[in-house]
Structure 1
């Protein structure tokens, strides 16, 4: 890859919640790739080549009079991204047994130690959706299972699945930067049974999985749920996140239409991670 230039939007939001979560979801729909949550708002990143001056038109939360949102924009070169993360990325601990940290963080004595160099990819565990998906994975018996991580981002979910005994994991992301970053993180964590692919659900041809993980967004999930079901083995599990509690009804309805049953959900700050079984 050549030099990648990103634009950083620094959004100041009053009050921060739930506007921050809504803004992240809406920005993700128009091409923003990564987010850092701050006390008074968020930092949002988009490749300069994907940007246009009307990028924020149609972002409804910016027009909502219940919130005051202001922002500043600056360019960030790819080589400066690691320094940005070193300033903003703190290690997280999930259910006391799984730590997600950067290489520059001190290693702790936990059962599952995952080292992530996030760069511009989504999935450090800080966002509610990633955190809850990690929690779901920690409850499952993955020994000998074949797994798909759809929209893998950094690869953190696939890496945890590998560390929990999965036999084989396919990790897919449509974004080239995420694809390359996931490969790096898989190698960094020395899990040799994770294979990373660049693409979307169109790659799912004649595949069968015991578990499918999809942390994407509501619209893509609704479109791809039938493809996920077709790839699930009998009694297989589908874990999905990237949507709000009010979206759970339409997600569940779509799952039921293709023969999947709702089992349970986790909820954090109105984000939901739901479990379905075939």
Structure 2
């Protein structure tokens, strides 16, 4: 079994910094979190951990928040069982339910059934909510769709449920790719799923590109997305905090993208742009 490290982060003040810290930790390999009254517990595979990379995180060096941490090696346990214990359904505006097979149906217009594994972290809930909210009002009928950083492929699955045509899901994490195949089958949708990054792109064009990742990757990859987006196509972004928006929009403006809609939930933001 994979060996894990458990980090205890003490955060003062806790809000809004706990969610922001989780976003930064996801970017360096942490894959699951538990929120506590004075901070968070965070988990990472021992072979992925780099103390130097952790200490370079912006938030740990910010004058706006006090963060301390300690860690310990976790015993070898069945992590999938642990994820299941802590995974709760996500109800989005009584329109879309993201649930596991062991949860009851709520008879909403759309249901996405996933098997929660390491590719799904609690820090993703607000951004997933924003992406689904945006997608509910978009036209996916027969559109060619790309889901970058797909995780469990919830967004790709929802696009297919909304009538999308050929849909490609890409993630850098092997767990996510494996989980995406399982979830596509579980929801009876046909997805093309690849292991990789934006370097996989350049071979085809898309009508809609979905990217729920993080600020640094988005800033780096938006020019690539735009090259692979058809004229009139839509780019939907999240994984962003409110203070990231100006930097992201500056990149988008340079790529001649037009902001169509901006949504915010807590400190998280989603941007819908058109080419």
Question: TM-score scaled to structure 2, two decimals?
Answer: 0.91
Match for residue 240 of structure 1 among 237, 252, 259: 237
User: 2:87 maps to which residue?
Assistant: 89
CA-based RMSD of the aligned residues comes to 2.1
Deviates more, 1:164-173 or 1:55-64: 55-64
Q: CA deviation at 1:250?
A: 1.4
1:113 matched to 2:111? The reply is yes
Match for residue 31 of structure 2 among 22, 33, 40: 33
User: 2:192 maps to which residue?
Assistant: 195
Kept in 2: contact 1:124–1:156 (CA 8 A)? no
Question: TM-score scaled to structure 1, two decimals?
Answer: 0.90
Kept in 1: contact 2:19–2:123 (CA 8 A)? no
1:204 matched to 2:201? The reply is yes
3-state SS of the aligned residue for 2:20? helix
Match for residue 158 of structure 2 among 136, 160, 165: 160
3-state SS of the aligned residue for 2:203? coil
Q: CA deviation at 1:125?
A: 8.7
User: 2:66 maps to which residue?
Assistant: 67
3-state SS of the aligned residue for 2:74? strand
1:261 matched to 2:254? The reply is no
Kept in 1: contact 2:80–2:118 (CA 8 A)? no
Alpha-carbon separation, structure 2, partners of 1:202 and 1:64:
32
Alpha-carbon separation, structure 1, partners of 2:86 and 2:145:
31
Alpha-carbon separation, structure 2, partners of 1:261 and 1:224:
17
Kept in 2: contact 1:33–1:120 (CA 8 A)? yes
Kept in 2: contact 1:100–1:125 (CA 8 A)? no
Cα separation, partners in 2 of 1:73 and 1:19, compared to 1, 3 Å: farther
Kept in 2: contact 1:8–1:76 (CA 8 A)? no
Q: Deviations for 1:50-99, whole angstroms, at most 9, x for unmatched residues?
A: 1144453223544557435444434254x612221232111111011100
Query: Number of residues paired by the alignment?
Result: 274
Cα separation, partners in 2 of 1:205 and 1:68, compared to 1, 3 Å: closer
1:4 matched to 2:2? The reply is yes
Deviates more, 1:65-74 or 1:87-96: 65-74
Q: Deviations for 1:149-193, whole angstroms, at most 9, x for unmatched residues?
A: 00000111111111111112100001111111111111111112x
